[in-house]
Structure 1
Amino acid sequence: MTMHPDDLLEQLKKTATARKKRSLELIYEICREQYERGSRDFSVATIARIAADRGGPSKGAIHNKTGDDYKGLIKAWAEHTGGVTRKVRQVSENPYSALIEKIENPALRSMMAGLLAENRQMRREITLLKAEGNRVIDMRPRSAEPREAIQVLPATTGLYPSEIEALRHAVSDRLLKNEGWSCDAEGRVLNEAGRVIFKAGYVSAIRKIIGEKASSEGSPANRIGVNNGKLDVTDVE
């Protein structure tokens, strides 16, 4: 039968140095606290972690051969209180629990535990969302939304008449006819086989830029430009 912790402490202190006496008393005190808080955990890992936080012997020092007195005192407390000297591995949803226990700095250990707890909570929420299922994601192209109108402002720089005339020629009925092309209601340019040469909005956009209606009525040719990212139109004499 193992000696009572009180008796063993007094016996070990008789041959110990002053420094070792303080360490033995610290180990004794930690074991007593474990008992008073109702914990059965008297493993070297737990006792050493608490002791190291208080300036006592580390886990390595207790595990070494020179730490037999410390291990003997811990074992005495475990047997006296019905505790265990080996940490029982608990099944946990957190696979990193063992790693957290190895962090010696208590503040860092607490912070990491908090972060992992938040991670577990988010994983649970994601699992619940997946379980609901049948969620519909709108995959319609954004082009289906109404297009913003182009704002026309007075210009400071722009296209010259020759450039406007080139754009006018690009969408003229003569060019389309000569090339065997046609224009549909959406402003596309199609070849004889019906293949799209220019996408929807091509013809209508150019005609808006060159102000074809104004030109066809005999108005002076327009001069087109960009000012601060907005389309500009001014008359060119």
Structure 2
Amino acid sequence: MTPTHPDLVLKGLLEGKANQRYVRNMRILQEVCRELNKVSPPDFSQATIGRMTASRGGPSLNTLYSPKGKHFRDLINAWIKWAGIEKARPIKQQDGASEEAEILKRVSDPAIRSYIGLVIAERRRLRVEVNALKQLTRGTPVIDMRTQSNRPSSSGTNVSLTTDERETLESIVDPAWLAARGLREGDRGELIGNAGSQLLGRGALPGIRKLLSASSVPGSGTKTLRSNFDTASRTDGGIPA
């Protein structure tokens, strides 16, 4: 008996179907099977078909052989018969996928079965994400349980200075203000008095500049820091303020 040509089988499977995604997936599968039929010998293995259809935006291997993929399998079987092959070469299912399929088979209610299928798919997706995180962290992922207010700022340093505090700090890094008081900035960012003594350690003045660049001015304040440096400059022999 001559087998039915796959084109006629496809025509029957598309008859009365208005879903564009369904039609598109069936046509992608048809073209893939047509190409595979030209290979000698024809290769209608599940892995090959699933890989080729998925790469073209069509159904994946799991979709082709899911409980709802009977129309895909009918078309594949039509090509297998047309090519004179008894059956496609099966691939070994993973234990997890086999167990999931068995669970779905035991659910008689279509609505509940569909819901359980979505839950299983979500679990599979989350498992993939967790495994990816384990590879990135080289072990068990660490979940930050701190509240947002207790976490370090992601935008860098967040400092609020009063107007007077800002003016005082700006004066300290101002070469003219320093020179008027017999102070100067050392080669390594330290603050040096008129007698050569070190008033602030290495990197102090560059650090103040960074603080100023990352700060805001919400209100008013005092000039305590400036007064302290005025006193220090007098004690060190600097020019009185």
TM-score (norm 1): 0.35
Q: If you compute each CA radius of gyration, which structure gives the higher value, 1 or 2?
A: 1
TM-score, length of structure 2 as denominator length:
0.34
